Amino acid sequence: MENKIVLITGASSGIGRVTARELAHMGATVVLLGRNRERTEAARDAIIAETGNEKVDFILADFASLDAVRSAADEFKRRYQRLDVLVNNAGLYLDERQVSVDGYEMTFAVNHLATFLLTDLLLETLKASAPSRIVTVSSGAHMAGGVRFDDPRAMRGYNGFRAYADSKLANILFTYELARRLEGTGVTANCLHPGAVNSNFAAETKGLFGVFFNLGRIFMLSPEQGAATSIYLASSPEVDGVTGKYFAKRTAQTSSLASYDRGAQTRLWELSEELVRNDTPIML
């Protein structure tokens, strides 16, 4: 990864931080994108100390705001002329319905819309840097997901797990459509299931999901194990030119039947474009 520039979202903790550390170990210039200055700066300093690689930088952005995503993309392009790998790692799980500053259901806004927008804003830089890679962290939870085109703001019957599963399916639909649109550019797009990881993700989750999540921690993967597939897709020569795939345990896997619906892939892309490019949320 010498002479490679990598941008990782959600990189101040968990598998994002481990991914950043290991790619820095390989010699990459790593840019951490985080929400909290103190935590992100501390992660940057720790990674430099642990790896001896001083080419570790950070940019702040709260993915609950599309304007913050735009500012982060602009800041990255001011500092760097190229981007070899974008790792879309940031994500959240919420028990109760919340609304982003842009008026969208928060899980969908952070897990999908912010990822969609950041990737879109950096596409020209990625194309100019080809061969380059886009790696998006999804989840096996997508198997229970759907896309509610008639209710994208989850106004009816909100359920935390369903909202999360829907957003993770959206990550995969987005990846498959993106890979198709990038054919011939030298930019690859893949997504992955990291496994059930014992990190601070969903640490404050309540309800039945929270009970099972916290009871199951002793059986979960370490952040190092959970980050393995992200690191593999970001760096391994074994996946040169491989695109439009869903991975788990560093192996291409079959995702849900719903994820292969080309009509849904295109429809989600078009809806996402409409939502991120309007100052006033569309009331659907």
Q: What is the pLDDT of residue 197?
A: 53
Question: How is residue 16 written in tokens?
Answer: 């994002």
Task: Measure the CA dihedral 205/255/183/271, to 10°.
Answer: -50
Radius of gyration of the chain (CA): 17
pLDDT tens across 169-180, in order?
999 999 999 999
Whether residue 131 has a cis bond before it, omega within 30° of 0: yes
Strand partners, 188: 133
For residues 108 and 281, the answer to whether their CB atoms sit within 8 Å is no
Strand-pair category, 246-248 with 251-253: antiparallel
Half-sphere exposure of 32 (CA within 13 A, CB side): 35
- 164 is a catalytic site residue: yes
For residues 79 and 55, the answer to whether their CB atoms sit within 8 Å is no
Question: Which residues make Cβ contacts (< 8 Å) with residue 181, sequence separation at least 6?
Answer: none
Four-way CATH pick for 5-276: 3.90.650.10, 3.40.50.720, 2.60.40.650, 3.40.50.2300: 3.40.50.720
pLDDT tens across 198-228, in order?
555 555 556 555 554 554 445 556 667 889 9
Collapsing DSSP to helix, strand or coil, 190 comes out as: strand
Query: How many other CB atoms are found less than 10 A from the CB of residue 58?
Result: 22
Distance between alpha carbon 128 and the CA centroid of its chain, in Å?
A: 21
Strand partners, 112: none
Predicted TM-score (pTM) of this structure = 0.90
Q: What is the pLDDT of residue 221?
A: 63
The better pLDDT of the pair 204, 151 is held by: 151
- Spot the catalytic one: 164, 176, 232, 246: 164
CA dist 181 and 183 (Å) reads 6
